[in-house]
Structure 1
Amino acid sequence: MSIEIVFETHSTTEDNEAGRATGWLPGRLSEQGRAQARELGRRRAQGGIAAVFCSDLRRAVQTAQLAFDGSGVPVLHDWRLRECDYGELNGMPAAEMHAGRRDHLDVPYPGGESWRQAVTRGERFLADLPSRWAGRRIVVIGHVATRWTLDHALRGVPVEDLMAEDFGWRPGWSYMLDT
């Protein structure tokens, strides 16, 4: 039996628009992001979704609330779906973070974590899913680290290869977790 996972990123934030890498800071959806979240809800309304799991950071929570409020689908917050923790550098300019992120594949950001640690944290979330959600379809709302977890754990893409690619936003990715 498998779990179908539909991954969606949190919607556009004020930090995204200002060119900041939010990391573990809460962030807040921009006007454009709020519209994107409502569109996410319309896009997934008839999708047979059993549950929505989202990062507990405010920008992901806001996305889930705007998308699924009133739908009857349970929305469950999980800290393991958070973005990579840039530690002392949370909120740094995004261009600076992207330019130096390969340096933090295995070496944590000062006071934070490495990208590989963030992916490992997300894999622990995936390991817990089969006990309750086997045979179901779920939505996961998260961040770059969340998508890298899914690509690494479920498609076998090395984290090193993921770091070399641009994130490339789109309206959802589909994954299968074999249980």
Structure 2
Amino acid sequence: MTVRLVYETHATTTDNEDGIATGWLPGRLSDLGRRQALELGERRREDGLDTVFVSDLHRAVETARLAFPGGVPPIRQDVRLRECDYGVLNGSSAALVAARRTRHIDEPFPGGQSYRQVVAATSAFLRDLVAEWDGASVLVIAHSANRWALEHLLTGKTLPALLADPPPWQPGWHYTV
């Protein structure tokens, strides 16, 4: 049983541009982000996608809806694809959250969750994905924490290494699950 998974992060938000760590807050795409979402749709239009799974946070849903107007391929929201919940730090400085990331691998952010909890949610999503979408080509649009979780689960990279020195953004990552 295998699934071809393409992963994309949501497009740029006003919070990204302002240096804010949105966490579980909804967030909104900026003008640049709306253009990026359209580009994502163009980039993936010929990929033969069977479906798109997306975080239920507004910025990810907005990205998917702009990329694939009319819901073709079908867009499915999944709460397990949410960004890490920074708890009391949702909406705070991105630099502050970045500086504290490695402290919250196993220990949740105050009032939030740990990166290990994001990995567990992503792992549960992948189990269901393989069981329900065997042989399919799937796009996932979510957040940086989910990308790190996928790298950890599917390539064996360690969470401490990923959180201390995150890989740079690129237009999509390809996995076989």
Report the TM range for the smaller structure's normalisation: over 0.9
Question: Which amino acid is the alignment partner of residue 150 of structure 2?
Answer: L
Q: Which runs of no fewer than 5 residues in structure 1 stay unpaired?
A: none
Structure 1 residue 72: deviation in Å?
2.2
Q: Which runs of no fewer than 5 residues in structure 2 stay unpaired?
A: none
Aligned to 1:8: 8
Consecutive aligned runs of 4 or more in structure 1 exceeding 3 Å deviation: none
Aligned to 1:65: 65
Are 2:51 and 1:40 aligned? no
Question: Which amino acid is the alignment partner of residue 127 of structure 1?
Answer: R
Q: Which range moved further: 144-153 or 46-55?
A: 144-153
Q: In the superposition, relative to structure 1, how do residues 87 and 71 fare at CA in structure 2: closer, same or farther (>3 Å)? A: closer
CA deviation vs aligned residue, 1:44-89 (integer Å, no higher than 9, x gap): 1111000000000000000000001136211000010000000111
Q: How many residue pairs were aligned?
A: 177
Q: Whole-Å Cα distance in 1 between the matches of residues 36 and 116 of structure 2?
A: 29
Aligned to 1:24: 24
Structure 1 residue 124: deviation in Å?
0.7
Q: Whole-Å Cα distance in 1 between the matches of residues 59 and 167 of structure 2?
A: 18
Three-state SS of the structure 2 residue aligned to 1:8 is strand
- Supply the RMSD in Å over aligned alpha carbons: 1.0
Contact 1:2/1:134, CA 8 A, preserved across alignment: yes
Three-state SS of the structure 2 residue aligned to 1:2 is coil
Q: Whole-Å Cα distance in 2 between the matches of residues 105 and 46 of structure 1?
A: 37
Q: Which range moved further: 105-114 or 28-37?
A: 105-114
CA deviation vs aligned residue, 1:131-168 (integer Å, no higher than 9, x gap): 22111110000001110121111111111111121341
Question: Which amino acid is the alignment partner of residue 97 of structure 1?
Answer: V
Q: Whole-Å Cα distance in 2 between the matches of residues 150 and 118 of structure 1?
A: 10
Q: Whole-Å Cα distance in 2 between the matches of residues 163 and 137 of structure 1?
A: 28
Provide TM-score, normalisation by structure 2.
Answer: 0.97
Three-state SS of the structure 1 residue aligned to 2:3 is strand
Aligned to 2:163: 163
Contact 2:10/2:141, CA 8 A, preserved across alignment: yes
